[in-house]
Amino acid sequence: MWRSYSDDGYGVMLGFDRDGLEKHVNELYKNDNPMSLAMPVVDCEYIDNEKISAELADDKDLEEYRAKGNILALSKVLENSLKYKHPCFHDEKETRVIIVGALQEKYRISKHSIVPYQELIFPVSLLNEVMFGPKADFERNRFSISNMLKNKLGEVHMRHIRFEKSEL
According to the model, what pLDDT value does residue 98 have? 76
CA dist 28 and 87 (Å) reads 32
According to the model, what pLDDT value does residue 35 have? 47
DSSP state of 121: -
SS3 (DSSP) at 60: helix
- Given a cut of 50, the residues of the chain with pLDDT beneath it are 34-35
According to the model, what pLDDT value does residue 31 have? 57
According to the model, what pLDDT value does residue 68 have? 67
What's at 114, amino acid-wise?
I
The sign of the torsion formed by the CA atoms of 60, 66, 72, 73 equals: positive
According to the model, what pLDDT value does residue 4 have? 74
84: enclosing H helix or E strand: strand 84-85
> By C-alpha distance, which of 141, 12, 84 is closest to 2?
12
According to the model, what pLDDT value does residue 65 have? 65
Query: How do beta strands 95-96 and 84-85 pair?
Result: unpaired
